[in-house]
Structure 1
Amino acid sequence: MVPHEEPDTPRRDPRLVHYSDIVEQGGLQPALISAARTHDLDLGVAEADPASQTYQWSTAEFPSSRGGIRVHLGHGARRFAITLDSHHGHAWASGSTGDLRRAAEAMAFWRQGATLGELHERFPFMEFDRLSQAYEEGNPVETQWGLLIDDDAFLSYRELLSILRANGKLGRLFPFFSHWVLRLALDCYDSQAGELMIKPTPEGGYAVWSSEAPESKRDCGSLAEVVEAAEAKMDEFSA
């Protein structure tokens, strides 16, 4: 008689063929901790909590002063995928390697305070984008306006974006798109600070509203009206 095995245990996972050593060590978290200990690396965690790894053998999390570090196992080949999160909702960098030691070394190097450029130079598999670099340099708002205006994917919004950016009040907000709605965040470091929303209407104009009063939308027939409405909607956050 074949012993009963729970369906969500590692031994039933098809990825086991690439990670038998990880399973033998109790999961990804203890395996990384062991590699760090062997090579004198600081990952900020001295030992794994066995209880937390019961059903999470394929993922791991570690702390850093700039946000959490997440690691998970890849599919189809031996691969350790790393994501360096921030405290503000964006990822600093991400990448993957098939070498567990290299993964641990990259994580430890980031924890030591390496810049994005230094991280990529030493570990080329760790990649970052222009916006992440802008956060590091302290100019994410200015950079984001430029990225969106230059992006042909938002060509239909280019004139509006240029006008909003030139506005002394609205140009200080952080622009981004979600489901083709232009959102202007009051604070790019605080997702709870509130947003303005601007969306094209079937009539050829725009609807403008705020997260503070989402039920109160203002229809605008021109770009000048959009700017006026957006400025007025900002006042709802201080009312």
Structure 2
Amino acid sequence: MTDVTDVTDGHPPDFSEHHPELARHGGLTAALRATAADQGLDLGGGSPAAGADREPTVAWFDSPRGRMKVDLRGAEPGFDIALFSDRGWFANWANGSTADIAEAAGVLVAWQHGATLAELSRRFPFMTSSRLSRGYDEGDQVAVMWELQIGDPAFAQYRELLTALRAEPQLAPMFPFFSMWTLRLAKDSYREQPGELLIRRRDDGSYLLWSSSETEEDQREFRRLDDVVAAAVALRTTL
């Protein structure tokens, strides 16, 4: 029997006013599963996270690309949906909210059965996704990430460097991102390999270059943009 005890006060949550379907089925996971079945769809039994059996207002389901989460809104009727992926650098691929549990169930089933993010947004306009997650979904995440980083005003001081690095055929396939105000070029956009090049631009306009297998003592200093790009090409072969 489903435990619908609210962990905050020890009393069952009251679903009756806004979500009678949850009261009828004893929690969000069962209600979503039943709603999908009413549409002739199979959502599976749900795969709860640790402690989720005591959270009847949270539901987790699995998909071939990653986990899916639905939260019951607190202040108003409705459902918040998050789709996660185990592919790539950013796990949260899409989010959305709807007041219709049938729509929420439809999103989950569509994602389970391989709908792309573009298809998902056409069928369920309340679902939104980032440009990078769509890039991963469409297989051009590296090109998208270069565009995002070059166009990001927060890293305007790196724009000339980023443009020059992308122009190099040996560096363009690498995945660029920033961490601690240091540019990192990763060998693999799926994190399958740890190899990275690291470049930090200093206040005086010079650059420091090293690899993820090296220490700070191994940093190389360059004054000219062409020199740091050429050195990055050479260091790429050691990753």
Q: Which bin holds the TM-score, normalised by the shorter protein? A: 0.7 to 0.9
Cα RMSD (Å): 3.2
Which residue does 1:40 correspond to in 2?
A: 40
The SS at the match of 2:129 is coil
CA distance in 2 between counterparts of 1:146 and 1:175 reads: 10
CA distance in 1 between counterparts of 2:50 and 2:149 reads: 45
CA distance in 2 between counterparts of 1:167 and 1:154 reads: 20
Report the TM-score, using the length of structure 1 for normalisation.
0.80
The SS at the match of 2:177 is strand
- Higher helix proportion: 1
- 1:99-138 residue pairs with structure 2 within 5 A? 99-138=100-139
Q: Which ranges in structure 2 are unaligned for 5 or more consecutive residues?
A: none
CA contact (8 A) 1:15 1:75 kept: no
CA distance in 2 between counterparts of 1:17 and 1:180 reads: 49
Deviates more, 1:49-58 or 1:145-154: 49-58
Which residue does 1:221 correspond to in 2?
A: 223
Deviates more, 1:167-176 or 1:91-100: 91-100
Which residue does 1:30 correspond to in 2?
A: 30
CA distance in 1 between counterparts of 2:53 and 2:174 reads: 44
Deviates more, 1:29-38 or 1:16-25: 16-25
CA contact (8 A) 1:26 1:53 kept: no
Structure 1 residue 135 displacement after superposition: 2.1
Which residue does 1:61 correspond to in 2?
A: 60
Encode CA deviations 1:134-188: one digit per residue, 9 max, x unaligned. 2233221122212222333332211111000001111110112233322211111
Report the TM-score, using the length of structure 2 for normalisation.
0.80
The SS at the match of 2:66 is coil
CA contact (8 A) 1:69 1:83 kept: yes
Structure 1 residue 75 displacement after superposition: 4.0
Deviates more, 1:173-182 or 1:18-27: 18-27
Compared with structure 1, are the counterparts of its residues 47 and 119 closer, same or farther at alpha carbon in structure 2 (3 Å cutoff)? closer
CA distance in 1 between counterparts of 2:230 and 2:11 reads: 61
CA distance in 1 between counterparts of 2:169 and 2:96 reads: 38
Q: Which ranges in structure 1 are unaligned for 5 or more consecutive residues?
A: none
Compared with structure 1, are the counterparts of its residues 118 and 54 closer, same or farther at alpha carbon in structure 2 (3 Å cutoff)? closer
CA distance in 2 between counterparts of 1:199 and 1:16 reads: 57
What percentage of aligned pairs have identical amino acids?
Answer: 41
